[in-house]
Structure 1
Amino acid sequence: MLGKTYFNKQASILLKFAKSTSNSQLSAKLVSKAADLKAQADPLPEKDVGLRAPDVDPDNETGAT
Structure 2
Amino acid sequence: MLGKTYLTKQASLLLEFARTTSDSELSAKLISKAADLKSQADPLPDKDQGLQAPDVHSNGPTAS
Q: Same fold (TM over 0.5)?
A: yes
Query: Which TM-score tier does this pair reach, normalised by the shorter chain?
Result: 0.7 to 0.9
**Hey, which bits of structure 1, 4+ residues long, moved more than 6 A?**
none
Residues 7-61 of structure 1: CA distance to partner in whole angstroms, max 9, x if unpaired? 0000000000000000000000000000000000011111122221101224x1x
- Pick the structure with greater CA Rg: 2
Equivalent residue pairs, number: 62
Match of 1:11 in 2: 11
Q: For the residues of structure 2 that align with 1:54 and 1:22, how far apart are their CA atoms?
A: 45
Question: Where do 5+ consecutive residues of structure 2 fail to align?
Answer: none
TM (norm. structure 1) is 0.86
Question: Where do 5+ consecutive residues of structure 1 fail to align?
Answer: none
Match of 1:35 in 2: 35
